[in-house]
């Protein structure tokens, strides 16, 4: 399975189109739900990529700040 958020957005668009052209209300709801799920996966993928691509020094400073405030993970 891909991890590319662009692909997730593409699949979400296809599901949205299918929802609009669905014959029954049940099909419409199913495809609308699928579109929303794929959009959520795209958002999560984008967030994860941003986190993983982050600056390690800044991330370490953020963790230290959290730890000194009692909210850290004990690193």
> Would 23 be classed as within a structural domain?
yes
Domain range enclosing 47 = 5-68
pLDDT, position 60: 59
**What's the total number of domains in the chain?**
1
CB atoms within 10 A of CB 37: 14
- Tens digits of pLDDT across the chain (75 residues): 778 999 999 999 999 999 999 999 999 999 999 999 999 999 999 998 888 887 665 555 665 665 665 554 444
> Would 74 be classed as within a structural domain?
no
> Would 75 be classed as within a structural domain?
no
pLDDT, position 52: 86
> Would 27 be classed as within a structural domain?
yes
Q: What is the pTM of this model?
A: 0.67
> Would 26 be classed as within a structural domain?
yes
pLDDT, position 10: 97
CB atoms within 10 A of CB 69: 8
> Would 61 be classed as within a structural domain?
yes
Q: Which two tokens stand for residue 35?
A: 């579109």
Q: Please choose, from the candidates 8, 9, 14, the residue with its C-alpha nearest in 3D space to the C-alpha of residue 32.
A: 14
Per this entry, what is the length of the chain?
75
């Amino acid at each position: 399975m891909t991890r590319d958020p662009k692909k997730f957005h593409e699949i979400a668009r296809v599901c949205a189109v299918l929802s609009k052209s669905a014959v029954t209300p049940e099909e419409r709801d199913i495809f609308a739900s699928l579109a929303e799920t794929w959009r959520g996966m795209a958002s999560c993928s984008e967030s994860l990529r941003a986190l993983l691509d982050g600056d390690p020094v800044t991330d370490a400073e953020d963790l230290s700040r959290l730890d000194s405030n009692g909210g850290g993970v004990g690193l």
